[in-house]
A = this chain, B = another copy of it.
């Protein structure tokens, strides 16, 4: 948990890396939660996996330019990174819309 977190230059992220980051059910659920309810404390995710695994997925999302990590006191706040909508317009919106239609939010 260092600060600052390494975030990639958004223009340097390849499309295929973003698509790969999106191709996992858990990561998709994380993004859907962020899109629905805004930013969120790291610990507030009920992922059903160990902390180390969750940390791994967060890192994949961060390196793909999809989320930003920010330190807030002793915790970590995760938020969608809005530059993604400029880098790849429509991509995240489309995928999340399809995801919610296919696997309905409880």
Contacts and interface: CB of A to CB of B under 8 A. Distances in A.
Interface stretch (A1-9, A48-56, A75-83, A93-101): A93-101
Interface residues of A, number: 20
B15 A99 contact: yes
Nearest to A102: B15
Say whether chain A's binding surface is mostly helix, strand, loop, or mixed.
helix
A23 B24 contact: no
Nearest to A88: B98
Interface string A12-47: 001111011011110010000000000000000000
B95 A15 contact: yes
User: Would you list the 5 A-B pairs with minimal beta carbon distance, nearest first?
Assistant: A19-B23, A20-B23, A94-B94, A19-B22, A90-B94
Interface of A: 14-17, 19-20, 22-25, 28, 88-91, 94-95, 98-99, 102
